[in-house]
Every structure is written in structure tokens, then in C-alpha cells.
Amino acid sequence: MSTLSVSNITDGTDTVETGYVVNGSAKAWVNWNGTGTVAIRDSFSVSSITDSGTGQYDPNFSSSFDNTNYVGSGAFAWGSNGNQMIALPDTVSKGRADTLAGNAYVDHVTIGVLYVGDLA
């Protein structure tokens, strides 16, 4: 295996430090249809999603996180107030994503989450 060691990456116009890319970028994200049979539209480092019940999903990571101290964030659209998107760590190999309208779990056609942290 070879190692490439650089301090900056550039496209000829913009330059960014490699530490920012390694430490500050989402390590996993996914956009999916959460109604009926769960279907991933697009993703990075998410191999599949387990449907764990109405409004409850477990994105499975292609690359595990180093520990369960990573952070999740997400969004979905619903036609009323009181909506919640909960995106949390679960294990190093899968996250948790829940969608609620008021106090009730709901499936939705467009859901997106991302996870940030250190990979193993």
C-alpha cells in the first residue's frame, strides 16, 4: 500500500487543507424514500437501510466509524408543524434515523441524513 502525504488540495482556483477534508466532511450520507419498501436514491458510504418500523430507519455504513461519538443530522418534509427528525449514532456500523409528526412516527417519501465523525 502506498501513502500520499499532502497538506493542501487544489483544483487550480480553490485550495483547501487536507485536514479540513479528512476531519470536516460528512463520512456517510443518504437520501431515500421511506414509504413502502425503503429505496435509496443516492448515498455515500451507506450500503443499505433497515426499515425498523413506521418512521424508524437504520442506515448501515459501508465503512465503520471509530467509535459511537459521531454526529447525525437529517431532514424530511411534512405538511404540518411539530415535525422532528432524529438522526443519532447507534453502533459503529449503523446509525439511527427517526421521523415524527407531532408525537407519532411517520414514513415519508423524501428523507435525508448525514453522519460526521472519525472512521475506523
9, part of any domain? no
| Structural domains of the chain, count | 1
pTM of the full structure: 0.82
Tell which residue, 110, 1, 118, 100, has the closest CA to residue 53.
Answer: 100
Residues of the domain holding 94: 32-116
91, part of any domain? yes
Give the pLDDT confidence of 64-101 residue by residue, as tens digits. Answer: 999 999 999 999 876 666 788 899 999 999 999 999 98
5, part of any domain? no
Max intra-chain CA distance, the chain = 53
CB 64 within 8 A of CB 92: yes
Give the pLDDT confidence of 44-66 residue by residue, as tens digits. Answer: 999 999 999 999 999 999 999 99
6, part of any domain? no
